[in-house]
Amino acid sequence: MKLLITLTLAAIFMFTCVCAAFAQEQDKPMPDRWRGLIIDESTPEDAIRILGQPQSDKLSDLPVQRINNWITKTRKEKVFKRLKFKKPEGMDAAELYFLSGRLVMIQLDTKELKPNTLPGVYGIEFRPMVSGADEGWNPKDFERNQGRVYPKSYPTVYYTVAVSEKSFVSAMIDNSSFGSVLKKSMEIKDSEGDYPGKVSYLQLISRKLENRDGADALK
């Protein structure tokens, strides 16, 4: 009898530990979700239940920045339901975009987040966005390290981008302080970059909106 009780208590303890670990994993920041709202799954009703009534609710295009060519041309059409929430906890603002009733983009406005924290938070690599045209016209302003291109000094506004299984993550960085404008790029020794400035806003965008023009020709 004592053995049965011991085994039962052990099973309950293990189950509790598994549940706690699962709950902790669910609360962990991930590149396809925020505050329990999940890209490709959550609805406007879910957003209002979690965040309360929005400051505004209207149809909009999808204001993707810097990686707009990665996204379907539908982004230009005012077919996205936009819910804007003013000053949710820890943020200046949050804008959620829905298509056909499902969340497709989360935009978070924040002034306190350092770009250097993003790789560790999301567990994915972020790289500065450098266009081939920029590098071609001003090659002296860039350097290559391990086959990647980095600016020698960072402009007052620049972007870092990461790709996860379900989303693109784009961060606009405000680098307007005098000291950080002149900061040189570091020697890259691993996947984390020592980027100057602060994140102005962060966009988590569904990869279901990925631009696949011409892909059918490859079948």
**Helices assigned H by DSSP within 57-129:** 118-122
Q: Look up residue 189 and give its two tokens.
A: 């020794």
The whole-number pLDDT of residue 185 equals 43
Question: For 19-62, how does the pLDDT look when each residue is reduced to its tens digit (9 = 90+)?
Answer: 333 334 446 899 999 999 999 999 999 999 999 999 999 999 99
Q: Look up residue 30 and give its two tokens.
A: 């991930």
Give the contacts of 208 (CB within 8 A, at least 6 positions apart): 40, 104
The whole-number pLDDT of residue 180 equals 47
Question: For 65-76, how does the pLDDT look when each residue is reduced to its tens digit (9 = 90+)?
Answer: 889 999 999 999
Helix (H) or strand (E) holding 109: strand 102-109
Q: Where are the domains of the chain?
A: 33-209
pTM of structure: 0.77
Dihedral through CA 30, CA 32, CA 35, CA 36, nearest 10?
Answer: -100
The whole-number pLDDT of residue 172 equals 94
Higher pLDDT, 85 or 185: 85
